[in-house]
């Protein structure tokens, strides 16, 4: 089972997102957040979040890049509860039980997207506002293979 975690290659998300997602937090697309938006709502940092921000499931902040990684079943259950609680607090769902099926579906869609990629694959999202609503497209940045000596320092622990 796979999901995606926020990754940052520089500090840009800290400057362009209202609330930046924390590096390493689990993320989903989060396009639902923009379902009632019009072009007039898409200005400044909100436009940036709409255009290419993934939704972090702890801070509910946004990040530009996510990386596919393995996830344990207990983590998935905890994330569904977090997201369901967010639906209650932010969107007025009546209670966690009522919101859980929607949270489960959001996670299922993201897991489906991630399951078709190797761990370490980086994903981006691009959104457009159309007559039919929010359209999302995804870009895949394949994991680059690297020689071990690019990451390891070779030597001996022996003195002398």
Q: Identify the sign of the CA torsion 39, 43, 49, 51.
A: positive
Residue 27 lies in a domain: yes
Would you give the DSSP letter of residue 113?
Answer: H
pTM: 0.86
Residue 23 lies in a domain: yes
Residue 159 lies in a domain: no
Residue 17 lies in a domain: yes
Tokens of 31: 């396009």
**pLDDT of 66-119, one tens digit each?**
999 999 999 999 999 999 999 999 999 999 999 999 999 999 999 999 999 999
What is the residue range of 115's domain? 2-150
Q: How many domains does the chain have?
A: 1
Residue 116 lies in a domain: yes
**pLDDT of 128-160, one tens digit each?**
999 888 999 999 997 765 443 433 343 444 444
Residue 127 lies in a domain: yes
Residue 156 lies in a domain: no
């Amino acid at each position: 089972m796979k999901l995606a975690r926020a990754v940052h290659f520089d500090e840009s998300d800290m400057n362009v997102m209202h609330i930046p997602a924390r590096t390493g937090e689990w993320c989903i697309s989060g396009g639902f957040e923009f379902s009632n938006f019009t072009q007039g709502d898409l200005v400044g940092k909100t436009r940036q979040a709409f255009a290419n921000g993934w939704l972090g499931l702890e801070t509910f902040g946004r990040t530009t890049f996510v990386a596919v990684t393995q996830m344990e079943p207990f983590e998935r259950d905890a994330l569904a509860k977090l997201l369901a609680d967010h639906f209650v607090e932010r969107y007025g769902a009546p209670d966690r039980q009522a919101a859980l099926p929607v949270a489960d579906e959001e996670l299922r869609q993201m897991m489906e997207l991630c399951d078709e990629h190797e761990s370490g694959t980086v994903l981006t999202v691009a959104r457009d506002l159309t007559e039919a609503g929010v359209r999302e497209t995804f870009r895949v940045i394949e994991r680059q293979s690297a020689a071990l000596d690019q990451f390891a320092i070779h030597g001996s622990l022996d003195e002398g």
